Amino acid sequence: MNPRLIKSIKLILPLLLGVFLVWYSLKDVPMPVIIDYWKSSNKFWVLLGVFFGLLSHLSRAYRWRFQLEPMGYNIKLENSIMAIFATYLINYTIPRSGEVARATIVANYENVPFEKGFGTIVAERIADVIVMLGIITITLFLQFDIIYGFLIEKFNPLKIIIGLVIAIFGILLLSNFIKRSKSKLALKVKAFINGLIEGALSIFKMEKKWAFIFHTLFIWGMYLLMFYVTSMAIEDLQGISTGAILIGFIFASFSIATTSGGIGAYPIAVSLAFSIFEIADGPSIAFGWIMWASQTLLIILFGGLSLLYLPVFNRNKSN
């Protein structure tokens, strides 16, 4: 297939999905209703949520340096911050493409080999997944009956198990093939994987393990806080239960991970989670859009400035 056509498909499909999800989220709660909720919302809580979001991004940039130091790379904090914001902005085009761009940025401006930089990002994501699993575990413990009933109603457990078994079997076959093959492609893949492994193992080699753990918990604490305080901006959501906040946060997080920055999907995910607690669609969808839009504007502003200022800040390196 033509490479240009593949690139076009990668760009167009997420956009089309985003347009559909936006339409779907506004199908029952039209935009004028959401605007009314925005006008009546308490802007202090929205701004406080944006502030907590900003703190989480800065903490992530600072934490990344802990992973690169054991491999001998002391990147500038400014480059780390700009790479983080550029990552989030680029993820609005093709899901997860920002991680590739982030490793490329430090490869260009800080001489960090791409595979090693990308390996630290993989390790970082592993740490984030562990924290997310912890949040899910706590939520399951607190709201087991509600979540179990919802999952049984919406998903077939047998199909999920079969899918996981097939995926694991396929990964094992591919790994065995690459390990035994002597082709140039296989050797390149091996070298790339070794770089990823070195980056992933950087967590265990770093001297500042406890600082890394602190920032990891801090980042996710800020995520939860920005979700909670922004919900307080909507009068109809005041006094919302802890269970609803936790489940709403989990659903919303998955919507961001599986789409281009959660466009359209974020308010749908929030509404679906809140519906478990019989919260009306109006305030749920409105909150989802206000939450998503406020954080997205933060990313667009700082991500755009980062992409513009990166070559200026590193002009001596470029020259």
- Condensed to tens digits (0 to 9), the pLDDT of residues 115-170 reads 888 888 888 888 888 888 889 888 888 877 776 666 666 666 666 567 667 878 87
Structural domains in the chain (count): 1
* Inside any domain, residue 4: no
Residue corresponding to tokens 């504007």: 297
**Per-residue confidence (pLDDT) for residue 319, from 0 to 100:** 47
What's the pTM value of the predicted model, to 2 decimals?
A: 0.80
Spatial separation of the C-alpha atoms in residues 6 and 29, rounded to whole Å: 35
- Band of residue 50 on the pLDDT scale cut at 50, 70, 90: very high
Whole-angstrom Cα distance, residue 173 to residue 177?
Answer: 6
Residue 136 Cα distances to 56, 98, 128, 250, 302, angstroms:
20, 25, 12, 7, 30
pLDDT value, residue 116: 85
Q: What's the pLDDT score for residue 264? A: 81
Q: Is residue 177 part of a domain?
A: yes
Query: 12 in a domain, yes or no?
Result: no
Q: Which tokens hold the place of 238?
A: 């005041």
Most confident region among 106-115, 122-131, 185-194 by mean pLDDT: 106-115
| 8/55: higher pLDDT | 55
**pLDDT at residue 58 above 80?**
yes
Q: Do residues 192 and 200 make contact, with C-beta atoms less than 8 angstroms apart?
A: no
For residue 25, which of 241, 211, 289 has the smallest C-alpha distance?
289
Give the domain extent around 127: 28-318
Q: What is the mean pLDDT of the chain?
A: 82
Residue 95 lies in a domain: yes
Is residue 15 situated within a structural domain?
no
Looking at the domain assignment, is residue 190 inside a domain? Answer: yes
Dihedral of the alpha carbons of 231, 237, 238, 242, in degrees to the nearest 10: -70
* 20-29, 111-120, 177-186, 217-226: range with highest mean pLDDT: 217-226
How many residues would you count in the chain? 319
Alpha-carbon gap, residue 52 to 59, rounded angstroms: 11
* Residue pLDDT, tens place only, 275-306: 888 888 889 999 999 999 999 999 999 999 99
pLDDT-derived band of residue 192, with 50, 70 and 90 as boundaries?
A: low
Looking at residue 16, its pLDDT comes to: 64
| In-domain check, residue 5 | no
Decide if 197 is inside a domain. yes
CA pair distance 181, 218, nearest whole angstrom: 44
- The average pLDDT across 44-65 equals 95
What mean pLDDT do residues 5-13 have?
57
